[in-house]
Amino acid sequence: MPAALRLAFFKLLGFAVLGLFLLPALTGWVSGHGLDRFTTELRASLSASLSEAKDLSPAGLQDAKAFVATVTAQSVCDGSLPQLQSLAQELCGATGDVGQFVLARRISTATLWLGAFTLLLIAGLAGLAYARPHLQLAAFSAGWWSLRAVSALEVLVQAAMLVWLSFWITALFFNIYIVKLILIAGALAAVGAWVAITAIFKRAARDNAISGVPIPREQAPALWARVRQYAAKLGTEPPRQIIAGIDASFFVTEAPLKLAQGEVSGRSLFVSLPLLRVLSRQEADAVLAHEMAHFSGGDTAFGAVLGPRLAAYAHYMAALGQNAMTLLAFYVLNLFRAAFELALSKSSRDREFAADRAAAGLTSGDAIARSLIKVSAYSAYRNTVEQSLFEHNQRHEGPLGLAQRVANGLAAFAQTPDFQAAVAESAMPHPFDSHPPLRQRLQQVGADYPADAFAGIVEQAPAETWADLILDVDALEAPLWRQYEAMFADQHEQHLALRYEPANDAERAIVLRHFPDVEISLKNGGVVRISYRGMDTPEATLQWDQVSAVRYEDGSFGTSDKLTVTHPEKGRLGMAATTTFKLALTAQTREPFKQAFGQHWRRHQIMRQLQRRAAAG
């Protein structure tokens, strides 16, 4: 495991441990401290009663004092002192102070044990998934159901602990209780419990839309025949549809896919038209055989079942990550996901190696190796071209010509100093799985070309390609590029709107298109204006560079809302300088104001961050 990944994993483990044990341990400590105090008071009360007793002999009084010295609040409430049963009934009820502390200690102890069990469960299931790949689905399902239940229970119990502590910490140590603190803790607990419970039952939306068009058999009969031939040789069913697109990858799946023409189901093979133009037919044959091997190995069936469950898991984690009270469950679930990912990555690599070997057996090790090198080179160079276009500081006008840029510059890219390292260490792009580095895959098929041979392979133009045998392939591909370039140009313009500190009318128009000025009417007839420059109120003007932090307080019972702005510069005595704006907002304008303020202030922060990054090189 790389050092950075190992560090991230242990940080995640640390957060999970804190989430599982911090609040229960604090509850246990507070309850223990309180029980010690109650024990001292109880012994003092019993000793005072003994001093008033007239019917005890000296020996009996001595025995009674020895007994009192052994009495604890805990022993009174756990029933081990039947002679104090009447006192236990008085002190140890659920509404009694001593009873609350005894119950809090029991719950904290049980919660600590539950936390330890949770960590052992995560380790056990992740270890099972790593050691027994055929049990990965069962291990993940067991973790998904059990950890949802455990995390929801943890949130509910720790929410109750938080409310209890919000009262007793101040009452026990300072002899006061703060109503506002208790209300805040109660609100956090209620929201956290609601999120933890309701998110379990929400169905995650499937994000399975891809850009591509189906290729009918009559449009590419030879391609269809070759795919069916390899499927037959591997003893598996061929795909129900072949989908052509312009992504820099090939893949197969049995999950439903959303296309512009509608949703398709069953087995699908995605072929990249730009890559089909780069690969010779023999090299493309190796890729097609590789993808059919995924069908025969059951990889796609496994992915079709596991994929929706991973999506639902991610959906649940996202819901928990949005609330402070549910962060403990978020980190626990994220820890299991990270541990499970280690097992999933290993089995994914093994599946890729197996598919490579199967493809080499149907074609040749040389063909699969050459295809891997060309696909990696194309992907790396296309990323370079797109990154260069995205960093352009002006809006792109007209067609970008991405397909031509990449096709025309690929051979020259192979001669650049960074080419060998970029390709040798690259992994094949894929939307559903992680792939091993190129060098490892070449070694697996017995064609470990030296890095200095890569350029010659990439520069060699194919004499015949499968793209040549797809009828009207240009008409099939051109709309996909137009759609992609339009999306690319739109995303680039959105980034310019974040990047610009407008210096002219053209730049200002782009910023205003995505971050228009907003006017918010006040109850007193005034207007607040929020723009990329800052905020104007009837009383003052605020520039975004004057804002380092904000705090917002909703008005109540006719009072104005308060926006407290912390400035970057220091005030008197070295304290942070602040300004408070009183805003006569209505219930209808409060949220629009918050949203507009947050969006424009965040845009300005991003702009300054990008400027600093550019200045640093």
- Note the pLDDT tens digit of each residue in 411-446: 998 888 778 767 755 555 444 445 677 888 888 888
Q: Give the pLDDT score at 33.
A: 82
If you ran DSSP here, which 8-state letter would residue 117 be given? Answer: H
Question: What is the per-residue DSSP string for 294-308?
Answer: HHHTTHHHHHHHHHH
CA–CA gap between residue 19 and residue 65 (Å, rounded): 44
- Please calculate the CA angle 419-422-424 and round it to the nearest 5 degrees: 100
Task: Please tell me the predicted confidence (pLDDT) of residue 577.
Answer: 84
423 vs 103: CA distance, rounded Å: 62
pLDDT at 177: 55
| Residue 557 DSSP label | T
In this prediction, what percent of the chain has a pLDDT beyond 90? 40
56 vs 236 pLDDT, higher one: 236
| Other CB atoms within 10 A of residue 485 CB | 18
If you average pLDDT over residues 79-96, what whole number do you get?
67
d(CA 279, CA 462): 6
Which distant-in-sequence residues (6+ apart) come within 8 Å of 474 by Cβ? Answer: none
- pLDDT at position 247, please? 93
Return the CATH number of 515-616, one of 1.20.58.1610, 3.40.718.10, 2.30.29.30, 2.40.160.40.
2.30.29.30
CA 236 to chain centre: 36
Mean pLDDT for the stretch of residues 303-318:
78
pLDDT at 182: 46
Per the DSSP assignment, residues forming a β-bridge with 527 are: 521
Half-sphere exposure of 113 (CA within 13 A, CB side): 6
Which residues partner with 483 through β-bridges? Answer: none
Q: What residues pair up with 582 in beta bridges, in sequence order?
A: 562
Task: Find where tokens 């550019």 sit.
Answer: 614
Tell me what pLDDT residue 167 has: 76
What pLDDT score does 432 carry?
45
3-state secondary structure 88-113: HHHHCCCCCHHHHHHHHHHHHHHHHH
Asked if pLDDT for residue 389 goes beyond 70, the answer is yes
| Whole-angstrom distance, CA of residue 196 vs CA of residue 316 | 8
What's the pLDDT score for residue 147?
85
The confidence band for 335, taking pLDDT boundaries of 50, 70 and 90, is confident
Predicted confidence (pLDDT) at residue 62 exceeds the cutoff of 90:
no
Specify the pLDDT at position 586: 86
Asked if residue 141 lies in contact with residue 310, where contact means CB atoms within 8 angstroms, the answer is: no
Distance (Å, whole) CA 552 – CA 597: 11
Token digits of residue 80:
């081990």
* SS3 state at 501: coil
What's residue 48's pLDDT?
73
Model confidence at 262: pLDDT above 50 = yes
Q: In terms of pLDDT, which residue wins out, 483 or 7? A: 483
Backbone phi and psi for residue 530, each to the nearest 5 degrees, phi listed first: -120, 130
Rounded mean pLDDT, 512-539: 92
List C-alpha distances in Å: 205 to 149, 196, 257, 263, 316. Answer: 22, 18, 13, 14, 12
Q: Please give the Cα distance from 192 to 326 (Å, whole number).
A: 5
Q: What is the DSSP string of 358-400?
A: HHHHHS-HHHHHHHHHHHHHHHHHHHHHHHHHHT-SS---S--
Q: Regarding predicted confidence, which is higher, 128 or 6?
A: 128
Average pLDDT over residues 336-346: 86
Query: For residue 130, how many C-alpha atoms fall within 13 Å in the half-sphere facing its CB?
Result: 14
What's the pLDDT at 573? 65
- Predicted confidence at residue 233, as pLDDT, reads 95
- Band of residue 205 on the pLDDT scale cut at 50, 70, 90: low
SS3 percent helix, strand, coil of the chain, rounded to 5, is 65, 10, 25
> Hey, CA dihedral for 27, 30, 35, 41, is it positive or negative?
negative
Residue with the two structure tokens 């298109």: 513
CA-CA distance, 50 to 70, in Å (whole number)?
15
Q: How much is the average pLDDT of 374-390?
A: 92
Q: How far apart are CA 221 and CA 569, in angstroms?
A: 71
DSSP state of 531: -
273 pLDDT band (50/70/90 cuts)?
A: very high
Q: Using one digit for the tens of pLDDT, what is the confidence trace for 138-148?
A: 898 898 888 88
What is the rounded CA–CA span in Å between residue 411 and residue 379?
13
The per-residue b/e assignment along 542-580, b for 16 or more CB within 10 angstroms, e otherwise, is: bebebbeeeeeeebeeeebbebebebeeeeeeeeeeeee
- Per-residue DSSP letters for 535-594? EE-SS-EEEGGG-SEEEEE---TTPPEEEEEEEEEE-GGGPEEEEEEEE---HHHHHHHH
Question: Residue 524: what are its φ and ψ, rounded to 5°?
Answer: -90, 10
Cα dihedral 357, 363, 369, 373, rounded to 10, equals -120
| pLDDT on residue 431 | 47
Q: Return phi, psi of residue 616, to 5°.
A: -75, -10
Given a contact cutoff of 8 angstroms between Cβ atoms, the answer to whether 264 and 241 are in contact is yes
Mean pLDDT taken over the chain: 84
For 554, phi then psi, to 5°, come to: -65, 140
**How would residue 206 be classed by pLDDT, with cut points 50, 70 and 90?**
low
Select the more confidently predicted residue: 537 or 575: 537
Paired tokens of 161: 């602990």
pLDDT grade for 185, boundaries at 50, 70 and 90: very low
Q: What is the pLDDT of residue 56?
A: 65
> For residue 583, what is the enclosing H or E element?
strand 576-583
pLDDT at residue 281 in the model: 96
Element (H, E) at 492: helix 473-499
Model pLDDT, residue 419 = 81
| Residues 169-178: tens digit of each pLDDT | 776 666 655 5
Alpha carbons 379 and 390: distance in angstroms, whole number: 16
Return the domain boundaries, the chain: 3-201, 213-492, 515-616
- Pairwise CA distance, residues 174 & 424, whole Å: 65
Instruction: Give pLDDT, residue 557.
Output: 66
Environment class of 480 (CB within 10 Å of its CB; exposed 0-12, middle 13-18, buried 19+): buried
- Of the CA atoms within 13 Å of residue 594, those in its CB half-sphere come to 12
Task: Name the token pair of 208.
Answer: 């399975």
SS3 at position 242: strand
Q: How confident is the model at residue 527 (pLDDT cuts 50, 70, 90)?
A: very high
Tokens of 351: 């599946």
